[in-house]
Structures are given as structure tokens and as C-alpha cells.
Amino acid sequence: MTGQQRRLSVNRLASAEVEHLPMRPLWRCRRCGQPWPCGAAKLALLAEYREVPVSLFLYLGGCLHDAIDDLHRLNPSVTGSVADMFDRFLGWPARHTHAYRVGTTTAVSIEEATS
């Protein structure tokens, strides 16, 4: 095996182990390069938070906040649509989570209790 072949196989191995996580500050998927959360990330998040959808919304709400800061810092003249950003981070799980209304109410209650 040549050095170049070894590097290629190591890169292939490394990319196979990379999960579909956000790459900040671009907020693109580390693995597939799509805007995060990509389709695979959404599936993984839905599976991970299946029993605690409230936590999924809290996590994604934090991600949305960070993404707005990061993307605005990168290019303030192209902030994009607020509606698109909201849907990208918080709109899609509402369409896939049964307990959205319960989760929203609970999230508000937690927010009120801690403020």
C-alpha cells in the first residue's frame, strides 16, 4: 500500500465514523455537507429524543440561537429569512413529533419557572 492509498483508506474510515453533526460556524453537516440538520441528523434526533420531545425542541432552540449568531457574524448582509431559519431548526420536528402541543406547553412552563 502506498502512502497515498493509506491516506485515502484512512480518510474513508474517518468519514464513515463521522456523525451527522453541525460544523460551526457554517452550520453545515460535518459528514454530508448539507445545511444542518440534514435528513440523517433529523432521523437520528427523532430517534434519540423519541421519549423526550420537549428536550428536542429545547436543544434545537439553542442551536437556532447559536446559528443565527454564527451566520450573522460570518456575513451580516445575508442573514436569510427568519421564517426559513425557524423552520429549518424548529418547524420540522413539529411535523414529526406527536407531543408537540404538550411539549410546547411544557417548554413554556420550564421557561416561566426558571425566569
Bridge pairing between strands 22-23 and 28-29: antiparallel
Which candidate, 108, 100, 112, places its Cα nearest to that of 53?
100
Q: By the criterion CB under 5 A, which residues form the site for Zn ion? A: 20, 29, 31-32, 38, 40
3-state DSSP assignment of residue 62: helix
Which candidate, 104, 25, 18, 96, places its Cα nearest to that of 61?
104
Minimum distance of Zn ion from residue 96's CB (angstroms) = 17
**How many Cβ atoms are within 10 Å of 97's Cβ, its own excluded?**
19
Minimum distance of Zn ion from residue 105's CB (angstroms) = 31
Q: Which is nearer to Zn ion, 20 or 57 (CB)?
A: 20
Q: Which is nearer to Zn ion, 31 or 88 (CB)?
A: 31
Minimum distance of Zn ion from residue 58's CB (angstroms) = 22
Minimum distance of Zn ion from residue 32's CB (angstroms) = 3
Q: Which is nearer to Zn ion, 33 or 80 (CB)?
A: 33
Under 8 Å between Cβ of 103 and 97: yes
Q: Which is nearer to Zn ion, 21 or 52 (CB)?
A: 21
